[in-house]
Chain A
């Protein structure tokens, strides 16, 4: 697993303290090159600062093909032309001989005015790498051998990968998606699940309106009680079947492995031994308070 973005930023900041010996290597030409690069990126001086210091780690930071890989942060791939690495990397020359993978980085910028100027410049790999760290809206796609490398197919591929990543996240959240393959089937499952959830909410709110008059006496203890009642009420899962009666016909996925580290042992056992469709709904809801699913869920909640 490569470094997180934060770690990389810190690393970059550290490097900005180092003097730009790199420029000496390039000589005066390098400065012009840098200026040209700068003009392409607009006045994004921060990026270029980091870019300048990026290849400081030349001895340990070999790059292939003039590109700094995004996926391997400090792991270096052997370089065929290590001698002129740093100079070459800036001049955007690529050495594809004997390589099994071509790397191509592509920028997708939100601003329109830079779009046209960047169209021919997909070789600006180094700048893209450094700017990638600070501007996360660049999309980097690795083109495999034999695949089309023009902008459109790269964009398509990037989009498809994003979508499949999101589908995988949804697979964790929606029960029963593991057995279905393919987008259409999974979307089906998701739709069914959302519909059933909404129906349940409606049903519950109707029930709430029925019993509402007696609500007042119990409300104040609610927040403390609701957790307790839920955890201690597990052996009474049978009583909840009446609520779930409407939804028993819904095809449910049996929760095989549920992380019950929070609950006590006896309750866990009683749950696992039950093999009824209604209880699997219960157990699934139980999961929500466990940490086993925080990975996928935290993705959504970390939007802020």
Chain B
């Protein structure tokens, strides 16, 4: 049974790792992030930086690694542009407040008349699309179809990024 586990595990990784896009992304991400973190570490040890900017730098490097590992997609280019232009400014906050979602859902329940339902639904969909545009880097310049196609890849890459970050964090805690 143990051998089976080991073999199965091996099978996952050795089968053409270059072709598996998720593994490719994960590998690229790690290869970008880890040296960057090392560099930050060295800088920190050499000069005494204060805490908030250190966090920002780390976040910045995380985002940079993210954008660099997924070059095939449009949103990564937009993200890269944003990051490069905002190097000296405050880092871009990518998350919007969850309270906005509650507002939106309560409005929907507030409800309209039967006749206006189609219009309302179209309007609601547009509202949500605007929200989505804000979330996705570069979303403002895309129309609905493009957003839908880009957001799929964005979500997958975010998930992969999370796995990598979690494993890095866990490695260093344990």
Contacts and interface: CB of A to CB of B under 8 A. Distances in A.
Interface residues of A, number: 67
Given A173-B152, A213-B44, A264-B5, A222 B135 contact: no
A304 B72 contact: yes
Contacts of B131: 191
B87 to A, nearest CB: 17
B8 A264 contact: yes
A166 interface: yes
A57 interface: no
Contacts of A163: 144-145, 148
B21 A214 contact: no
B8 to A, nearest CB: 6
Interface string B151-174: 111111011111111111111111
B170 A229 contact: yes
B137 to A, nearest CB: 10
A170 interface: yes
A167 B147 CA distance: 11
Interface in A113-167: 159, 162-163, 166-167
A188 B105 contact: yes
A193 B155 contact: yes
B125 A184 contact: yes
Interface string B44-85: 110000000011011100100010000011000000000000
Nearest to B4: A264
A207 B171 CA distance: 12
Interface in A211-251: 211-216, 218-219, 222-223, 225-231, 233, 240, 243
B135 A285 contact: no
B142 interface: no
Instruction: Give the 4 A-B residue pairs with the shortest CB-CB distance, closest first.
Output: A301-B21, A226-B167, A300-B153, A209-B58
Given A162-B145, A200-B162, A230-B163, 13 more contacts: A191-B128, A194-B155, A209-B58, A212-B40, A229-B167, A230-B167, A262-B8, A285-B166, A289-B22, A299-B152, A300-B73, A300-B153, A304-B72
Interface of A: 159, 162-163, 166-167, 169-170, 173-174, 182-184, 187-188, 190-195, 197-202, 204-209, 211-216, 218-219, 222-223, 225-231, 233, 240, 243, 262-265, 285, 288-289, 296-301, 303-304
